[in-house]
Structure 1
Amino acid sequence: MTTMTRTALVIVAVLLLVLGLLWVFQRRLIYLPDPGPVPPAGEVIPGARDVTFTTRDGVRLAAWYVPGDRGDVTVLVTGGNAGNRSHRAPLAQALAARGLLVLLMAYRGSSI
């Protein structure tokens, strides 16, 4: 076996190892929730309140309800893949300032 062949095999083996590790740990690399507790809604957004609801299959989801002047439109804001609801508070406040009702919620499978 030549040196060139050995080098190519080592490179392929290292690449396969890296790809395998990325595959195994992909959820930890993608989803980065804030590990700390989510503060109460009223502490972050004046007038907001904590709400929870349960899906048909029994999953309990937490949310913040931010009232607005208009009752005909509600904007649903989910937390995304990093942080928690408090990081989306400026968006909720801006939408509520325009009169929109806002529901900032954790998505299914998230504890935030």
Structure 2
Amino acid sequence: MRFLLPRPLRGFGPLHVLLPMVALLLALFGYAAIQTAAQNYRLAEERRAVEAEIHALRTRQAELEGLREYLLSDEYVEAMARSHFGLVYPGETEVVVNAPPSEESGRQPGERWWEVLFDR
């Protein structure tokens, strides 16, 4: 029976140095690419949120400008003079209607629902 001895390892060559360095560089570039993609995603989300806020603010601005125009109009001034100060044009007669007081049933909103649920 013949015994085979293990072959001696070759010397430490340039390939043994180059492969780990290439693997390390690939890992670093991969990490950098993932971080950049994650940052781009976060920035895109933030941009969408800011654009939505800008749209909401522009809508609110348009509403406020419309309200401002109405408040500066003669129509609003006349309505306030009639309702708050009781002013009328010459020749008009002001009529005040006193409504009878409404009867309060003493129920709170939603009380009937609880009565049905618990048979009260």
Name the TM-score, length of structure 2 as normaliser.
0.27
Name the TM-score, length of structure 1 as normaliser.
0.29
* Higher RCO by CA contacts (8 Å cutoff, separation 6 or greater): 1
Larger-gyration structure (1/2): 2
